[in-house]
């Protein structure tokens, strides 16, 4: 028994007071951080943005932020209005009136001050009163009008609004559904964490609407922010409900309410300590860290149940708390210490992942597990010592002690476990074959695992956000936005500039132009970009013109040639490049995952059509760069000229294609990425371009891929660490490997079943591997250590197995039942990650318990001669020869 446990038994009240003071201290750190003059004590900060799953300096994240600023883009909330009862859908006077009122109300949702505004960006809202329609104003002229400056007076005017909207490609299936029954408003917000507050204000206004239409609010930002709000509700409801059920189950086993409160106190103090340190050190409470209490609680209770179970079985025979605790702790301290170390190793291995929130999660769960061990070996004995003696008058299992030669208890668990123990020993080969078959099935399932995640699917099927997601993505081009940028490859662009200059110089008279052409520097010079190369030529021409006796008129003409070439740097004003973009758009919209695209050709073709008096034949990319320039110049006269530069940079050297997906699943985004790669490979553009993606839907794919790779490394690292610890615990590599088998079988089975049932491998499933690592080895350690202790006393494996299926096996089964069933209340949560954690904690415990109680004794029976070298065993009986 450790000195720390002995001290707790001798000074129990001091230990209880110390635990109470530590709990108060951690609570103060969380609730009143301002009382400490420490910069890191910032109080509670919530972050549900998956973008922050990547490090701030991650290239993909940096490019995303750069492009969002470059194109003036913002994250937005989507408000959908669906009308199924009216024959004209949403295009009736009453519904459009409510839509207009809602759009105008949305413009007012802002707070903060002028220097730091928050909320909605009114000028960027896409709503019927905030978007233009372009119409012909005679041959060669167009005019721009608001789609719906005022509410229509009657249904005929409402139908006219529909027809005008559907004639504009950038509005059809984006603002207005093709069937005319739905309209969407896109409400940009300054920060993602403004979305829940904005959505709440919108919902309040919608409740007062008189229209029978359905109003839906969705979008990635609102899904992420609302999850952050609801996850705290679940921490306050589901976790305590789980604790209450655990308490009830422990009372059913031990029949002493005062005693079973002790593990609850340990779990509570451990959770408070882990979360208190997380917040006090300035860490953000992310989606991952919100689940720290759910992971710490079952682990915190495990060792306490082992202590209570052993104490329950031994106290009636010893009749003295101190002596009983001394016996119990002398047997359990070693396995409890090593189960703690192995569990901590499993979670600390998450530091190997490249996902900062996952690293933080692993670190603080490991800290919570360590606290749970510390309080278990001190607080539980101290608590028992402080209870009045009369509380144990009718306490305990009245059967014989488990270290005696017979086990006479007639409890239900003994009636179940003793036959199980005899079967496992006598039919060890059959059990081994069953395990091998289970591994085979698991391998099949593992091969079918599909990596996928979608923040909207973090909510239950009937949640408002899921309902809105289905309703709007069935009618519009898609509420999930990804952005594809294309820019000319630098090297070829410089080569193009060189060829253009040479062609223009050839048309000039005089020796200066020919001499300059012959001495042009290579396009592979250090200034290899288009503009950089022209800057080099301009500097060279200036130096030559300044030489004595230079023909300044000739060099003036050469400078003009360079300037004219520079004007052709407008890559995406070229007809062939816009035609190529048009083809790429067509290919994208043919994909099942893509509902719509918006790009520069849409604006050019629409303006070109109206310049030719709405002639359908004119809806095309013009044949000349001059004609394209004219359409773009015309668009500059619209009410929203800035919208042009959402699709192309002002120098026309980088284009941006908006890709609307009808699903936010990573698999769908990945399929689109592959399709674009193949298209660009099979259909080379007229000018070589580099393409890159950005947007939240794309970022989700990247961090998910990194997490899967990182979790694989973490699992392997944790597995190796646990094997080393197990070998050190048993001072035997053979016993170390043996004890890893239940862990291996558990993890393989859990993830094999995931593949077989078609459950996506998402964020909660990924991190559960660490919980598998910790819990599966817990039971193996306890069973193996106790079996070796008993074997040292009796020297016979058959007798050892019979006794091991007494108190040690009862403790394991009690743990499986208490914790496995105790976390099923998480299934009532509307948040899918909490449901998944509840199901899989139970599945992991059942699998780990079965693997330990069936696999370990069967394998020990088969390999007892190797495992117990100091005893010559009879292979027929398992006992001494």
Determine the Cα angle at 168 with ends 164 and 171, to 5°.
95
406 pLDDT tier (thresholds 50, 70, 90): very low
pLDDT beyond 80 at 190: yes
Stretch 453-476: mean pLDDT: 88
Of the listed ranges 313-322, 358-367, 824-833, the one predicted with least confidence: 824-833
Partnered with residue 689 across adjacent β-strands are 488
Number of Cβ within 10 Å of residue 262's Cβ equals 24
Report pLDDT digits (tens) over 718-739. Answer: 888 888 888 888 888 999 899 8
CB < 8 Å & 24+ apart, contacts of 179-182: 179/89, 179/475, 180/88, 180/89, 180/90, 180/91, 181/82, 181/83, 181/84, 181/89, 181/90, 181/475, 182/80, 182/81, 182/82, 182/83, 182/89, 182/90, 182/472, 182/475, 182/476
Tell me what pLDDT residue 401 has: 46
Using CA atoms, how far apart are residues 530 and 565, in angstroms rounded to an integer?
10
C-alpha–C-alpha distance, residues 742 and 204, integer Å: 54
Residues 152-162 as b or e (16 or more Cβ within 10 Å = b): beebeebbebb
Structure letter (DSSP) for residue 354: S
Whether the predicted pLDDT of 632 surpasses 60? yes
- The CA-atom distances, in angstroms, between 790 and each of 403, 787, 830, 879 are 7, 5, 47, 13
State residue 311's pLDDT score: 86
- Give the per-residue pLDDT at 40: 38
Beta bridge partners of 182: 82
pLDDT tens digits, residue range 512-544? Answer: 888 888 888 776 655 557 777 888 888 888 888
The backbone torsions φ and ψ at residue 859, rounded to the nearest 5 degrees and listed phi first, read: -70, -40
**Buried/exposed code over 427-464 (b: 16+ C-beta within 10 A; e: otherwise):** ebeebbeebeebeeebeebbeebebbbbbbbbbeeebb
**Cα–Cα dist 746/752, whole Å:** 10
Q: What are the tens digits of pLDDT across the range 168-185?
A: 888 988 999 988 899 999
> What pLDDT is stored for residue 700 in this prediction?
86
Give the pLDDT band (50/70/90) at residue 878: very low
Cα–Cα distance, 222 to 194 (Å, whole number): 9
Spatial contact of 482 and 675, defined as CB atoms under 8 Å apart: no
Q: Which residues does 197 contact at the CB level (< 8 Å), separation at least 6? A: 119
DSSP output for 187-225: EEBSSGGGHHHHHHHHHHHHHT----SEEEEE-HHHHHH
CA distance 825 to 831: 12
Select the more confidently predicted residue: 783 or 50: 783
Looking at 95-99, 689-693, 714-718, 803-807, which range is the least confident one?
Answer: 714-718
CA atoms within 13 A on the CB side of 17: 4
Query: In degrees, to the nearest 5, what angle opens at C-alpha 145 toward C-alphas 144 and 150?
Result: 170
- pLDDT above 80 (res 496): no
Highest mean pLDDT among 414-418, 475-479, 828-832, 863-867: 475-479
- The average confidence (pLDDT) of the chain is 84
Pick the residue with more confidence: 672 or 763? 672
**Poorest-pLDDT segment among 122-126, 515-519, 616-620:** 515-519
Whole-prediction pTM value? 0.79
Which pairs count as long-range contacts for 219-222, CB under 8 Å and 24+ apart, including other chains? 219/75, 219/76, 219/77, 219/78, 219/195, 219/479, 220/75, 220/455, 220/456, 220/480, 220/664, 220/696, 220/697, 221/75, 221/76, 221/77, 221/189, 221/192, 221/195, 221/696, 222/77, 222/195, 222/196, 222/465
Return the higher-pLDDT residue of 257 and 823.
Answer: 257
Mean pLDDT over residues 649-676, rounded? 93
Quick check: 655 and 485 in contact, CB under 8 A? Answer: yes
Is residue 93 scored above 70 in pLDDT?
yes
pLDDT of residue 482: 95
Query: How confident is the model at residue 405, as a pLDDT?
Result: 38
pLDDT band at residue 102 using 50, 70 and 90 as cut-offs: very high
Among 188, 169, 161, smallest CA distance to 596 is for: 169
- Tell me, what's the pLDDT at 742? 87
Provide the b/e sequence for 533-563 (b: ≥16 CB within 10 Å): bbebbeebbeebbeeeeeeeebbebbbebbe
For position 635, what pLDDT does the model report?
Answer: 92
Higher pLDDT pick, 42 / 64: 64
What local confidence, expressed as pLDDT, does residue 627 receive?
Answer: 92
Q: Taking Cα atoms as reference points, which of 866, 867, 846, 861 lies closest to residue 742?
A: 846
* Residue 124 scores a pLDDT above 50: yes
Whole-number percent of the chain with pLDDT over 70: 92
Per-residue pLDDT averaged across 565-580, rounded? 84
647 confidence band (pLDDT: 50, 70, 90):
very high
* pLDDT at 252 exceeding the cut of 60: yes
Q: Are 783 and 809 in contact (CB under 8 A)?
A: yes
Mean pLDDT of 34-53: 56
**Residue whose C-alpha is closest to residue 673's, from 704, 638, 643:** 704
The whole-number average pLDDT for the span 771-785 is 81
231 has pLDDT over 50: yes
């Amino acid at each position: 028994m450790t000195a720390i446990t002995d001290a707790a038994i001798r000074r129990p009240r001091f230990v209880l007071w110390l635990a109470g003071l530590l709990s108060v201290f951690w609570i103060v750190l969380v609730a009143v951080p301002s009382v400490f003059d420490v910069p890191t004590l910032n109080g509670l900060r919530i972050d549900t943005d998956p973008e922050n799953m990547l490090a701030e300096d991650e290239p993909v994240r940096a490019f995303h932020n750069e492009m969002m600023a470059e194109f003036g883009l913002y994250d937005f909330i989507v408000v959908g209005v669906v009308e199924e009862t009216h024959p004209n859908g949403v295009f009736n006077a009453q519904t459009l009136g409510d839509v207009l009122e809602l759009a105008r109300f949305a413009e007012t949702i802002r707070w903060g001050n002028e220097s730091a505004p928050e909320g909605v960006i009114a000028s960027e809202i896409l709503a019927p009163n905030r978007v233009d329609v372009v119409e012909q104003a005679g041959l060669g002229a167009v005019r721009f009008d608001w789609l719906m400056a005022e509410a229509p007076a009657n249904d005929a005017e409402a139908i006219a609004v529909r027809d005008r909207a559907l004639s504009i490609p950038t509005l059809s299936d984006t603002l207005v559904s093709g069937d005319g029954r739905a309209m969407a408003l896109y409400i940009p917000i300054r920060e993602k964490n403004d979305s829940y507050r904005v959505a709440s204000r919108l919902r309040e206004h919608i409740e007062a609407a008189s229209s029978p239409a359905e109003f839906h609010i969705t979008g990635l930002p609102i899904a992420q922010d609302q999850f952050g709000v609801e996850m705290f509700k679940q921490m306050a409801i589901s976790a305590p409900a789980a604790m209450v059920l655990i308490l009830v189950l422990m009372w059913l086993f031990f029949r002493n309410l005062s005693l079973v409160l002790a593990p609850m106190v340990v779990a509570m103090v451990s959770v408070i300590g882990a979360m208190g340190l997380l917040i006090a050190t300035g860490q953000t409470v992310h989606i991952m860290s919100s689940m720290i209490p759910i992971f710490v609680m079952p682990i915190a209770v495990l060792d306490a149940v082992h202590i209570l179970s052993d104490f329950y079985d031994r106290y009636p025979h010893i009749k003295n708390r101190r002596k009983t605790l001394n016996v119990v702790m002398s047997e359990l301290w070693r396995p409890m210490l090593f189960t703690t170390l192995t569990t901590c190793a499993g979670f600390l291995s998450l530091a190997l992942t490249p996902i900062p929130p996952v690293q933080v999660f692993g670190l603080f769960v490991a800290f919570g597990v360590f606290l749970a061990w510390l309080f278990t070996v001190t607080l539980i004995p101290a608590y028992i010592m402080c209870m009045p003696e009369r509380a144990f008058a009718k306490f305990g299992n009245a059967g014989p002690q488990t270290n005696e030669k017979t086990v006479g208890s007639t409890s239900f668990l003994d009636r179940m476990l003793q036959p199980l123990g005899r079967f496992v020993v006598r039919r060890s080969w059959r059990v081994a074959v069953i395990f091998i078959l289970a591994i085979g099935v698991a391998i099949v399932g593992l091969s079918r695992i599909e990596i996928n995640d979608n923040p909207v699917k973090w909510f239950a099927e009937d949640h408002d956000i899921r309902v809105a997601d289905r309703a709007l993505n069935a009618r519009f081009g898609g509420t999930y936005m990804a952005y594809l940028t294309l820019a000319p490859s630098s090297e070829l662009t410089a080569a193009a500039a060189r060829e253009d200059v040479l062609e223009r110089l050839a048309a000039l008279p005089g020796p200066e132009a020919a001499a300059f052409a012959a001495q042009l520097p290579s396009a592979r010079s250090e200034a290899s970009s288009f503009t950089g190369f022209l800057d080099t030529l301009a500097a060279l021409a200036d130096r030559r013109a300044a030489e004595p006796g230079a023909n300044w008129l000739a060099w003036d003409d050469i400078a003009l040639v360079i300037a004219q070439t520079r004007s052709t740097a407008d890559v995406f004003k070229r007809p062939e490049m816009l035609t190529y973009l048009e083809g790429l758009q067509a290919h994208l919209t043919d994909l099942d995952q893509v509902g719509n695209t918006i790009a520069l050709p849409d604006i050019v073709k629409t303006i070109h059509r109206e310049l030719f008096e709405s002639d359908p034949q004119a809806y095309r990319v013009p044949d000349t760069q001059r004609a394209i320039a004219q359409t773009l110049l015309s668009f500059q006269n619209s009410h929203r000229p800035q919208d042009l530069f959402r699709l192309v940079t002002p120098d026309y050297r980088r284009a941006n294609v908006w890709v609307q997906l009808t699903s936010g699943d990573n698999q769908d985004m990945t399929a689109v990425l592959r399709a674009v790669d193949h298209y660009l490979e099979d259909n080379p553009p007229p000018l070589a371009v580099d393409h890159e993606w950005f947007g939240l839907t794309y970022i989700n794919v990247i961090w998910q891929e990194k997490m899967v790779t990182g979790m694989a490394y973490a699992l392997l690292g944790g597995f190796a660490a646990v094997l080393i610890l197990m070998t050190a615990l048993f001072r035997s590599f053979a016993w170390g490997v043996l004890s890893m088998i239940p862990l291996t079988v558990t993890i393989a089975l859990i993830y094999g079943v995931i593949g077989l049932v078609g459950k996506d491998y998402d964020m909660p499933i990924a991190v559960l591997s660490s919980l598998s690592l910790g819990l599966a080895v817990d039971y193996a350690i306890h069973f193996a250590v106790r079996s070796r202790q008993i074997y040292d006393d009796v020297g016979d494996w058959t007798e050892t197995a019979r006794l091991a299926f007494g108190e040690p096996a009862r403790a394991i089964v009690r743990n499986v039942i208490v914790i496995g069933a105790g976390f099923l209340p998480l299934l009532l949560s509307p948040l899918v990650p909490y449901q998944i954690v509840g199901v899989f904690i139970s599945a992991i415990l059942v699998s780990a318990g079965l693997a330990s109680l069936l696999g370990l004794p069967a394998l020990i029976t088969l390999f007892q001669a190797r495992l117990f070298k100091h005893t010559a065993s009879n292979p027929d009986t398992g006992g001494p020869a």
